[in-house]
Chains A and B, each alone.
Chain A
Amino acid sequence: MTELVIGTKKGLFLLQGDAASPGNEEFVITARAFAGQPVDYALRDPRSGRLFATATSPFYGPKLFYTDGDPSAGWEQAAGVELPAGGDQALERIWVIAPGEAPGTLYLGADPGVLLESHDDGASWEINQGLWNQPSRPEWQPGGGGLCLHSICTWPGDSQRLAVAISAAGIWLSDDGGTSWRRGNRGLNPRYLPEADIDPETSALCVHHVERSHARPERMFMQFHGGVYRSDDAGESWEAIGDGLPSDFGFPLKLDPADPDSAYVIPLVADMDRVTPDGRVRVYETRDGGASWSPRGDGLPTARAYLTVLRQAFTSKGSGARLELYFGATSGEVFGSGDAGASWATLATRLPPVFSVAAS
């Protein structure tokens, strides 16, 4: 049984179904919470079983809530999810939560380009001072979604090595548990800038999503704002691998944890349109590190389907031939595959616009 934790424009939805044969057995809605509120991101920490949801009330600002029990009942508000008081900025939106490598540790990425960390299973948080105090921070430029820290890549088995991505402040790497940070942007080509102005240290680099290979942690994959990239040196430098895709623009990206040569992307028409190309919904897969890409759309809409899939709305569970893949669209549909993308089924329709999908 697979549980999907889905953040939408109108609250949190929990769905359950049989991943081995999605479509043969309907996924059902088992709980809803935060009705009417934008839930930007939600997940269940597999270590503690704790369920997290971020809600950005238009009235009260972004908050993080958690529960260890019935999600339809009470939630606790996490403490410390805020910027230092008395400055000239306020927390705008929480974009991602990621379990860390050390027991009880979690990381949280938010707008304006901030990383927070918790060492008590997410009950209380503090800002990462190393990133907050970066001297170049006043020059960081926001992307269309704000100055969002949306990707947090831990290193399997090593709590000291971290990578985070910020739109549009690029990739940041740490080898000392987040005490110090350096940029890792060599090789990225922001086609939206004049060539003469491109500088990996200062250019506005609109990274859309980054994932690290579990099987080979020095390998990373990136969906950029125009371009798909691979790094084989832990994010220090990047090589374009988008040839063969109908569009190298998109937001989410997932990997098969068992295969360091694998990646999945969902191309969208670049870059003022941002819908699935030709009215067809297709996931593209590589199994050779990006040398070639193959469409995986069996069971997905083939016509009159102009969907937008946001960066946190694509998730996976398991690995290898039983890799499960799930994504949701702003149209309110959720799709799933239980066989590494070979076949797909529609698991939900007419939900509110989907912001995030996590599987557990």
Chain B
Amino acid sequence: MIELIAAFERANQDARGWILDERGLIRRHINVFVDGDRASEATAVAAGARVDVIPAITGG
């Protein structure tokens, strides 16, 4: 997963730093799903899988 998002941010400079922080971790209130299942940095992504990147419902 982490390689996929890093490549996406490299290819889309406007997105740089919006999903991953400087440590290379997915930001705390961003959730990532692979084929509908909650995923993490280490989740494997198969060819053809659907990846959704969704901000959490947080705030105050």
Contacts and interface: CB of A to CB of B under 8 A. Distances in A.
Given A82-B22, A86-B24, A61 B17 contact: yes
Contact of A61 (B24, B27, B56): B27
Contacts of A90: 21-23, 25
Interface in B8-60: 14, 17-19, 21-25, 27, 29-30, 55-56, 58-59
> 4 smallest A-B Cβ distances: which pairs?
A90-B21, A59-B55, A83-B22, A60-B18
A308 B17 CA distance: 33
A77 B25 CA distance: 21
A59 B21 CA distance: 11
Contacts of B27: 59-61
9 contacts: A59-B27, A60-B30, A61-B17, A61-B18, A61-B21, A84-B22, A87-B23, A88-B23, A91-B22
A290 to B, nearest CB: 39
A63 B18 CA distance: 9
A73 interface: no
Contacts of A89: 22-23
Q: Which residue, B17, B19, B59, has most C-beta atoms of chain A within 10 A?
A: B17
**A-side interface size class:** 10 to 19
A87 B23 CA distance: 5
Nearest to B13: A79
A86 B55 contact: no
Nearest to B27: A61
A36 B22 CA distance: 25
B17 A82 contact: yes
A194 interface: no
Contacts of B25: 90
A325 B11 CA distance: 47
A85 interface: yes
B18 to A, nearest CB: 5
A85 B6 CA distance: 12
Contact of B30 (A36, A59, A63, A91): A59
Interface string A58-72: 111101000000000
B6 to A, nearest CB: 10
Contacts of B55: 59-60
Given A59-B55, A61-B17, A85 B29 contact: no
Nearest to A36: B59
Contacts of A84: 22
B29 to A, nearest CB: 5
Contacts of A82: 17, 22
Interface in A115-158: none
Contacts of B23: 86-90
A231 B18 CA distance: 42
A85 B55 CA distance: 22
A166 B21 CA distance: 23
Given A59-B58, A61-B21, 5 more contacts: A58-B59, A59-B56, A60-B55, A85-B24, A86-B22
Interface in A197-241: none
A61 to B, nearest CB: 6
Nearest to B6: A85
Contacts of A86: 22-24
A123 to B, nearest CB: 14
Contacts of B18: 60-61
A89 B21 CA distance: 9
Nearest to B56: A59
A41 B24 CA distance: 26
A58 B58 contact: yes
Q: Which residue, A84, A85, A86, A89, has most C-beta atoms of chain B within 10 A?
A: A85
Nearest to B15: A60
